[in-house]
Amino acid sequence: MKEGRPRSFYVLAIFFAAYVLFLYGPMIAIYVLSFQGPQGGLTFPMNGVSTFWIAKLFQGTGIVDLGAAFRRSLLLGVIVMIVTVVLSVAAGMAFRRKFKAQSILFYSAIASLIVPSIITSLGISLEFRIIDDLIKAHWNENFETSMGLLTSGLGAHLTWTLPFGLLIMFAIFNRFDPRLEEAARDLGATPWQTFRHVVLPIILPSVIGIGLFGFTLSWDELARSSQAIGAVNTLPLDLQGLTTTVTNPDIYALGTVISAVSFTVITLALGTIHMLNKRQAAKGSDAGQGLV
């Protein structure tokens, strides 16, 4: 094409920069505001600079028991991450072959992604209510509820993370060279050995990506948790509860802490992916290494 940049480049570059500013500007504002002094309010200008509000969170003197919510969200996020990785990789492998009901699974995943979250959440809560009623009627009158963080809550989060995991697996196998597996088979590898020593190392960077999606989507999930989580709250739910009563920078401090966890996980995951890709580039080929 032409040399030099057309005028549209500069117009769109400015548009893009404005979009990025729009995306990040408000978030940066609350990160800054969470470092207000003890007299600080909800808006600029800053009233002193301190870590008072963040320290207050960790003392547990705030409005809700954030420590417990923090641990619950973390636990749920880690479990969702592990389950999402395992089930997505397994199902992704299955989709490379024809099997009955594969279009049912595919459509379920897509539908789960686009049916409004409130409906999924309501459905899960109704399902568990009906289960509870059955248990009360037939087995144990004093039964409280089967809803909880790791039953209905876990299920609700998985309906959100698994479709992403499956779609990423499709993308991975889209550019996977099956000749590598054939070579392993020809050398006498069992299917499990082929997977463990050939397929997995190659797809590992993207699998880390699935884990990243799994954890952060669960960590920040709100709409599906709202009806389905049971009696306890996750961190985003507590945060949402605070928005109606907010009067001081508590809420910004909490926002900053939650974001810090998200960003740490993203950075760790991206760092690992980068490292794995580099390793693959360095060790993946033995061309030019001689016969030893």
Q: Which of 64, 68, 122, 273 is close enough to bind another protein by CB under 8 A? A: 122
Q: Which of 21, 38, 44, 49 is close enough to bind another protein by CB under 8 A? A: 44
- We find the least distance from the C-beta atom of residue 186 to another protein, in angstroms, to be 8
- Footprint of another protein on residues 85-114 (CB under 8 A)? 86-88, 90-91, 93-114
- Is residue 49 at the binding interface for another protein, with CB under 8 A as the rule? no
- We find the least distance from the C-beta atom of residue 33 to another protein, in angstroms, to be 6
- Footprint of another protein on residues 181-200 (CB under 8 A)? 182, 185, 191
- Is residue 119 at the binding interface for another protein, with CB under 8 A as the rule? yes
Residues 6+ apart with CB under 8 A from 19: none
Closer to another protein by Cβ: residue 75 or 94: 94
- Is residue 74 at the binding interface for another protein, with CB under 8 A as the rule? no
- Footprint of another protein on residues 267-286 (CB under 8 A)? 270
Closer to another protein by Cβ: residue 56 or 120: 120
Q: Which region among 4-12, 52-60, 74-82, 135-143 touches another protein (by CB under 8 A)?
A: 4-12
d(CA 95, CA 165): 13
- Is residue 63 at the binding interface for another protein, with CB under 8 A as the rule? no
Neighbours of 79 (CB within 10 A): 19
Question: What are the tokens at 263?
Answer: 């960003």
- Three-state secondary-structure class, residue 39: coil
- We find the least distance from the C-beta atom of residue 26 to another protein, in angstroms, to be 4
- Is residue 64 at the binding interface for another protein, with CB under 8 A as the rule? no
Which residue has tokens 């003890």?
Answer: 38
Cβ neighbourhood burial of 48 (10 Å; 0-12, 13-18, 19+): exposed
Q: Are the CB atoms for 250 and 242 separated by under 8 Å? A: yes
Scanning the chain, the segments in alpha helix (DSSP H) are: 7-33, 52-59, 66-94, 102-114, 117-138, 154-174, 179-186, 191-194, 200-219, 225-228, 235-242, 250-283
Closer to another protein by Cβ: residue 137 or 288: 137
